Amino acid sequence: MAALLGTWLGLSSAVVSAAPIELPSLGDSTSGIISPQQEYELGQTYLKYLRSRTSTVSDAETKDYLERLIYRLAEHSDLRDHRLSTMIIDSPNLNAFAAPGGIIGVNTGLFFNASNEAQFAAVMAHELAHLSQRHYARNVEEAKRKSIPTAAAIIASVVLMATAGSDAGVAALSSTIAGVQSSNLRFSRHFEREADNLGIIILSKAGFDPNAMPEIFEEMNRSSRFQSRPPEFLLTHPVTDSRIADSRARAVQMPAKGTKGSVDYQLVRIRLFALSAENPAAFAKQLQNELSDGYTSAPDVTRYGLALASYLSKDYATAEKALNTLLEKHPNNLYIIMAKARLESAQGKHKEALARIDRALKVYLDNYPLMFTKAELQTESKDFAGARDTLQSLSRSRPDDPDIWYYLAEAQGQADDILGLHQSRAEFFFLSGNLDDAIKHLQYAKKLAGNNYALTARIEKKLNDVYAYRNKLKNE
């Protein structure tokens, strides 16, 4: 936190000495006291900090789904810098946030609470609107008009709100800015209204039902009435009755109703329910009863959840029956194909499982979840060199994904590629904010490189980059 706040405060100190600058116009990514590049660099530092202290979801299907949805929405936003980074926090609390530099985070709890894709997309569109309007940079601009301690308090509160997902940041802000408290709170509400209005436009242009935004806000308010503590999202994005009414009135003005969403969202949603179930066998029994009694409005989605929960509880017969039924109806659905391949591998049918994934890869070239599944299957069949090669290919297309480097290091270790293991662990630790361990593994790799001068030079270059990054954080 000290390093992160140092970065923020370094920026705010420069702000105070600068000439007065007016608030940027909406969507203006070139004005303001923090440049888009500074915001991006700050966001990457913040992302590393979050990864080092937060449990995240590494499931390839879920991550890929979120990335595709975010970029679909971003195409219809005012974002000028499309360098976006997403993270899924493994928490049942209902929360989502946007941070400077294109960082969008979401808790698994939002998947659990948003009953359809349009509702989920509404929250993501709202967060994208915060980014497109550079609300964080504009917060710092507002802080510039006050004292340095006030600027520091605003900046620190932003970090607290995004990190803790609680009212800690709001409390810190309120207690510190005594003289300007009311005006600052109005400023915050203005940003929320801006994000609502632009978010609904993004949602509608992306083909979703704009009414989903007031719907998800109403659902959050409704659920908070039965809890001693409101959902995390409501603490950082207060939703009032007037705000819901405003968003509903705005939604009515949109040109088309749009869709409630795709089946992909429902498959990912029930996938997360199955993966997070404390007792997969009990969850499978619940889903089986829903199918038998006809209590489900989406039997194929329920059957997919049944297959996953049965697989996780090692009831392979039930999983196979459910997946065979699904494949007859949806032979090209990748979620079902990957589930079937994993089941075949668990049953010892390694060749069949890999052949199934390879057939899909011929159609969906270099698809991230398919490639990751292939690496998993190769590991299970003890083809460690093959898993290493598959993950190395993924590391080139997803160089900023710490999960890829983590699993690549594991595969390299199993393939006795110790030099590669240290290099991959260094990448993982760097992206996860653990700079000291990243340096240690690069030093190990340098020793193992021996007289390979080209490789030694690359490792030294990476070492110097990490040292420079660490020194920058300390100096700021």
The answer for residues whose C-beta is within 8 angstroms of residue 168's C-beta and 6 or more apart is 160, 161
232 pairs with which residues across the strands? none
Comparing CA positions, the residue from 293, 28, 36, 12 lying closest to residue 144 is 12
Q: Is 422 annotated as contributing to ligand binding? A: no
State the residue for tokens 């509903």. 248
258: left (phi over 0), alpha (psi -120 to 50) or beta: left
Could you write out the DSSP letters of every residue in 268-286?
HHHHHHHHH-S-HHHHHHH
DSSP type of residue 230 = -
Q: Which of 117, 127, 410, 417 is catalytic?
A: 127
Burial of 54: CB neighbours in 10 Å, binned 0-12, 13-18, 19+: middle
DSSP type of residue 67 = H
Comparing CA positions, the residue from 347, 311, 305, 344 lying closest to residue 326 is 305
Q: Which two tokens stand for residue 442?
A: 């690069």
98 pairs with which residues across the strands? 104
Based on the residue annotation, tell me whether 67 is a catalytic residue of this protein: no
Q: What angle do CA 432, 437, 440 make, to 5 degrees?
A: 145
103 pairs with which residues across the strands? 85, 99
The answer for residues whose C-beta is within 8 angstroms of residue 2's C-beta and 6 or more apart is none
Q: Which of 196, 215, 300, 376 is catalytic?
A: 196
SS3 state of residue 85: strand
CA dist., res. 96 & res. 104, Å (int): 8
Please report which residue ranges of 114-167 form alpha helices under DSSP H: 117-132, 135-144, 148-164
CA dist., res. 31 & res. 24, Å (int): 6
Based on the residue annotation, tell me whether 127 is a catalytic residue of this protein: yes
CA dist., res. 31 & res. 21, Å (int): 9
Q: Is 130 annotated as contributing to ligand binding? A: yes
89 pairs with which residues across the strands? 56, 107
CA quadruple 406, 105, 272, 303: dihedral sign: negative
DSSP type of residue 205 = H
Length of the chain: 476
Active-site residue numbers? Answer: 127, 196
Q: Which residues are annotated as a binding site?
A: 126, 130, 192
Q: Which residues are annotated as a binding site for Zn(2+)?
A: 126, 130, 192
